[in-house]
């Protein structure tokens, strides 16, 4: 049986057509290795095709997700996946609701622009893929480190930082000791 995160609840990874496959799969895989319950939801029912032609099955459609049960939402980047997430009022509402109640919102690559669209980045220290950083108005945008936490908002830069991002999510949800165990098991160096 898969346990909920230490903070209680489920992690939602919503997939939109054109998502970045590596970012999505790394997050889903690492969180599940940590025995954190992950729900992969498509914006519409059925499998979702990624930016590089890889199609992933989903656990459910977004409309089937119980927002009250969520501990975190994690948005993978990719194009046009990020644009599709940003255009979906349900995603924006979930981001606002989770952040507003102190639950985690996380985004990698271009997906921090979804957080900006939802209005949850003002005054926060964040990072993102270099080509979209200018769209994060109102935030303090940094290029290092590759993963940045500001309150309940966690952001990262892209495919090359996906493992570190996923391990940070594990540390937040299941504790630093569990993240260290997974880092060692996955052979991810401390200086990664």
Which residues are known catalytic residues?
109
CA 107 – CA 114 distance, rounded (Å): 8
The secondary structure of the chain, three-state, reads: CCECCCCCCEEEEEECCCCCHHHHHHHHHHHHHCCECEEEEECCCCCEECCCCCEECCCEEHHHCCHHHEEEEEECCCCCHHHHHHCCHHHHHHHHHHHHCCCEEEEECCCHHHHHHHCCCCCCEECCCHHHHHHCCCCEECCCCCEEEECCEEEECCHHHHHHHHHHHHHHHHCHHHHHHHHHHCCCCCCC
């Amino acid at each position: 049986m898969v346990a909920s995160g230490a903070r209680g609840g489920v992690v939602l990874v919503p997939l939109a057509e054109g998502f970045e496959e590596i970012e999505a799969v790394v997050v889903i895989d690492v969180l599940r290795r940590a025995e954190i319950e992950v729900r992969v939801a498509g914006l519409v029912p059925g499998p979702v095709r990624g930016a590089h032609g890889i199609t992933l099955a989903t656990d459910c459609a977004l409309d089937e997700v119980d927002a009250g049960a969520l501990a975190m939402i994690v948005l993978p980047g990719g194009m046009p996946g990020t644009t599709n997430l940003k255009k979906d009022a349900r995603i924006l509402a979930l981001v606002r609701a989770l952040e507003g109640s102190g639950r985690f919102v996380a985004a990698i690559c271009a997906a921090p622009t979804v957080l900006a669209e939802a209005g949850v980045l003002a005054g926060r220290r964040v990072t993102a893929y270099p080509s979209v950083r200018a769209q994060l108005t109102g935030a303090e945008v940094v290029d290092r480190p590759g993963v940045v936490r500001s309150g309940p908002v966690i952001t990262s830069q892209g495919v090359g930082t996906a493992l570190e991002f996923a391990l940070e999510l594990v540390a937040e949800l299941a504790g630093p000791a569990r993240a260290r165990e997974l880092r060692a098991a996955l052979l991810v160096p401390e200086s990664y």
